Amino acid sequence: MTAQVSTARPAPPLAARRPPRRTRAWLHRLDLKGSPYLYIAPFFVLFGAFGLFPLVYTAWVSMHDWNLLSDDHPFVGLRNYTELFVDPYFWNALGNTASILVLSTVPQLVMALGLAALLNSRLRGQTFFRLGLLLPNVTSVVAVAVIFSQLFGRDFGLINWILRTLHLGTVDWQSGTASSQIAIAVMIVWRWTGYNALIYLAAMQAVPTELYESATLDGASPLQQLRKITIPSIRPTIIFTVLVSTIYGMQVFAEPQLFGGGGPDGVTGGKDRQFQTLTLYLYEHGFNRFEFGYASAIAWVMFAVIVIAAAVNYLVIRRIRSAS
């Protein structure tokens, strides 16, 4: 901008007070070298304040016995981490997170792929359906969790009512390990399938139509076309969605918290911790017992776990690509 302004301004009369030539050159150089940094600074300042600083500060806190209610926070080194690794409830939460992740991500992405393929064919009212796909995603998580928790209610829930009328017997969704995790997975699937379907759809529209035309001429069925043309063509997008849903799945919080209902079950993820996820475990220690040091250690371990999970995912999916 500075450069533009200086060229647009009519040259001042020679006699005008202008800075000595050397200063001007220096200013010019500064503008040239410095301005770009200034332009990108907002991102880095924001990232520093809201990304990097909390990350580093959390690491610092995690090495202290940092109770929110007490005034002194003694340094304990890595003790929080060693305690964490021998806490069976941590491993329980990690296991629950992993199983909810699988239970939610796999059906979600498979269904999204199917929906996208359907929408990619010529349909009436395409915009309507595409908007409809996104609707669950713009609904507030809290509303989704509250409503689904009622649907999965033991005594007066809709799902059990249907099961009862079909004489199939009822399920105590919340108390069972598998049933509670399925209920939570259903909430996640409902919320995110449409979103992923839209991303797939966008990628599918970039696949050249000639491929499909010649495949049709060769007598390939729609299913074959999906497997042999569509999926290979949108693989990078699939990798992206797998990564994003993994990262989201590792941090599931509102669904199990609200599914447990207010009170202690929402914090421990059921009486037997059957659906306590890692984030809920962090919440229990940080915001219920105010053990911020320990909670910070959990946060860092979670960070490491997410990085590892994302890396493993990436490698596995890349492997599939190169194999085929």
Partner 1 sequence: MRITRQAADARRGRLVRALAPLLTLSLVGVGATACGGSSGSDTSKVTLTVGLFGDFGFKPLYDEYKKAHPNVEINERTAQYADHHKNLAAHLATGTGAADIEAIEVGYISQFSAQPGKFYNLLDYGAGDLKSQWLDWKWQQGLSTDGKSLVGLGTDVGGMAMCYRTDLMAKAGLPTKRDEVSKLWPTWSDYIEAGKKYQAKVPDSHFFESAGNMFRAMVGQAPVGLYDDKDNVIVGSNPDVKKSWDTTVQAIQAKMSAKLTAWTPEWTAGFQQGSFATIVCPAWMTAYIETNAKDASGKWDVSAIPGGSGNMGGSHLTLPKQGKHPKEAADLLKWLTAPEQQAKVFKATGNFPSLPKLYDDPSIKNFSKPFFNDAPTGQLFAEAPKAVKPQHMGPKGGDVMQTVQQGLGRIEEGKQKPDEAWSQVLKDVDKLK
Q: Kindly list the residues in this chain that would bind partner 1 in the complex (CB under 8 A).
A: 68-69, 149-150, 153-156, 172, 175, 261-265, 267-268, 271-272, 274, 287-290
Shortest reach from residue 33's CB to partner 1, in Å: 23
Nearest to 174 by CA among 166, 184, 165: 184
User: Which residue's CB is nearer to partner 1, number 249 or number 266?
Assistant: 266
User: Which residue's CB is nearer to partner 1, number 66 or number 195?
Assistant: 66
Residue labelled with tokens 């500060």: 57
User: Which residue's CB is nearer to partner 1, number 179 or number 233?
Assistant: 179
Residue labelled with tokens 């499909």: 212
User: Which residue's CB is nearer to partner 1, number 14 or number 69?
Assistant: 69
Shortest reach from residue 181's CB to partner 1, in Å: 15
Distance CA(130)–CA(128), nearest Å, equals 5
Nearest to 278 by CA among 98, 144, 78, 141: 98
Shortest reach from residue 72's CB to partner 1, in Å: 13
303 by Cβ neighbours in 10 Å (0-12 / 13-18 / 19+) ranks as middle
Shortest reach from residue 36's CB to partner 1, in Å: 22
Shortest reach from residue 19's CB to partner 1, in Å: 17
User: Which residue's CB is nearer to partner 1, number 125 or number 263?
Assistant: 263
Helix axes 235-250, 292-323, angle to 10 degrees: 160
User: Which residue's CB is nearer to partner 1, number 190 or number 290?
Assistant: 290
Count the Cβ atoms, other than its own, within 10 Å of residue 259: 23
Tokens of 266: 């929402």
Intra-chain end-to-end CA distance of the chain, in Å? 51
Count the Cβ atoms, other than its own, within 10 Å of residue 223: 9
Residue labelled with tokens 């007490």: 70
Shortest reach from residue 270's CB to partner 1, in Å: 9
